[in-house]
Amino acid sequence: MSNIDLLGFINNLEEKTKRNEVSWNNVSSLYFSKIFDRTITDGNIKGAFYADSPKGRVIIGKYQVRHYYSEDEYYIEDYFFLSITNSNFENPVTFTEDDEVSKKASFTLAISKLHRLIQLNAYDIKDRLDSWFD
Per-residue pLDDT at 98: 78
Q: CA-to-CA distance for 73 and 81, rounded, in angstroms? A: 26
Q: For the segment 37-52, what is each residue's pLDDT rounded down to a tens digit?
A: 776 655 589 899 999 9
Per-residue pLDDT at 36: 84
Per-residue pLDDT at 40: 64
Which residues, at least 6 apart from 71, have a Cβ–Cβ distance to it below 8 Å? none
Residue ranges of the chain whose pLDDT lies below 70:
1-2, 39-43, 100-102
Per-residue pLDDT at 42: 54
Q: CA-to-CA distance for 43 and 55, rounded, in angstroms? A: 28
pTM of the model: 0.88
